[in-house]
Chain A
């Protein structure tokens, strides 16, 4: 497993467990993590630590009728058959969420890369649907690379291209950093004159015709945004 994926896994697992991923983003994460058995350890770490928050809430005794109801529902079916059938649907959704964690397979820690990224960015939509993870590596002051990894949660658009732009902090014109892969990953070399602008600028992804913007400036809607964050 690469260090960059570790960071991504960390962020997504943490936000999933915390509850900030909602709707489609949440479902995509659930799909994604089923394919990523190497994320299980990170996921379990966040689950076991985040739920300690529940321990900060004072204990309150529930009324006795709760246990009586549980007992009668579980062990005395005659009493419960009348009107509880529909509730099984509600149980199911909760049960799925809970058993989902138990489906994951623990794997031994994998080798980490020697090259540590200087900064990372997650490009996501306004609805927090993640598209790409960017991982900036500084080899020297003039040699900076970004590894761009497309995520399983990306909504693929085969008839278009996604183009990455740096929006400099001084509000000057967007600078193209090239097209983004819709599958797998790609290494983007940062032009030498752009390197100093990376840390303060914003990143944006526009939808363009196949082959990229014909004008050298964004022509389509800006769908994803992000910002480089030092690691």
Chain B
């Protein structure tokens, strides 16, 4: 079923169908497909690692270990559960959080500028990076949330902050944080499903 000529333009297109072909071949031990998968996705995933770890050396370590993991588990990938990019993002994000937890607390720096982007009423700068239409829809729905609510969700997603840490970081009572997160997530879902929140 694989269309080789389409694989050659992989790095420009990155359609999920093509990523699926690449991961399926990687699962069968095809090194070239694995390299194409790396070339197609590593920059985006490295951007995520950098955002989470805020240190280039650690972000590279996370990326490297994630891809080794991806190679070993490619045959376990199930397209009906998650898109390839979702599956790989989960692996990379978990790896980053492993490294983040191993760091001394004082060196866990947060890129405040990017978090300010989430608190801003203009999510335009964030939209610039998005490549998928679904992500634009998500941003659109995020923009309907209150700025601090949005920031709390982003802090949790990008920095692995649990309720307690969010309460400390945003100087809010724990109950307030829990409510923000819960309502925020509920609104996001309603919005994404096209129902008024």
Contact = CB atoms under 8 A, between A and B. Distances in A.
What bracket does the count of chain A residues touching chain B fall in? Answer: 35 or more
A2 interface: no
Contact of B64 (A10, A11, A66): A66
Given A20-B166, A62-B46, A74-B68, A14 B89 contact: no
Given A70-B64, A101-B81, A58 B89 contact: no
A94 B81 contact: no
A126 B189 CA distance: 25
Between B35, B76, B156, B185, the greatest number of chain A beta carbons within 10 A of the residue's beta carbon is seen for: B185
B157 A50 contact: yes
A53 B158 CA distance: 9
A59 B129 contact: yes
Interface in B71-87: 71-73, 76-78, 80-83, 85-87
B13 interface: no
Contacts of A75: 31
Contacts of B80: 106
Interface in A208-222: none
Contacts, number: 179
B59 to A, nearest CB: 8
Contacts of B135: 52-53, 55-56
A129 to B, nearest CB: 12
Contact of A70 (B67, B93, B131): B67
Interface residues of B, number: 74
Interface stretch (B1-9, B17-25, B36-44): B36-44
B93 A54 contact: yes
B119 interface: no
B172 to A, nearest CB: 14
Contacts of A47: 81-82, 86, 90
Between A50, A61, A101, the greatest number of chain B beta carbons within 10 A of the residue's beta carbon is seen for: A50
A59 B43 contact: yes
B28 to A, nearest CB: 15
A71 B42 CA distance: 14
A97 B48 CA distance: 18
Interface string A120-151: 00000010100000000000000000000000
A50 to B, nearest CB: 7
A10 B73 contact: no
Contact of A44 (B59, B82, B98, B186): B82
B109 interface: no
Interface in A33-61: 40, 44, 47-61
A25 to B, nearest CB: 8
B162 A21 contact: yes
Interface in B109-159: 114, 126-132, 134-135, 138-139, 153-154, 156-158
B33 interface: no
B134 A101 contact: no
A90 interface: yes
Contacts of A20: 156, 161-163, 166, 181
Given A53-B138, A56-B130, A19 B178 contact: no
24 contacts: A10-B189, A19-B161, A19-B162, A20-B166, A47-B90, A49-B134, A52-B132, A52-B134, A55-B130, A55-B132, A57-B47, A57-B51, A57-B158, A59-B47, A60-B43, A62-B63, A91-B69, A93-B98, A94-B65, A94-B98, A101-B81, A101-B90, A102-B78, A229-B183
The 3 closest A-B pairs by CB, nearest first: A59-B43, A55-B135, A22-B162
Given A53-B154, A55-B135, A66-B46, 14 more contacts: A14-B185, A15-B185, A19-B162, A50-B157, A56-B129, A59-B43, A59-B129, A60-B46, A61-B43, A66-B64, A67-B38, A90-B65, A95-B91, A99-B76
Interface of A: 10-11, 14-15, 18-22, 40, 44, 47-63, 65-67, 69-71, 73-75, 87, 90-91, 93-95, 97-99, 101-102, 104, 106, 126, 128, 229
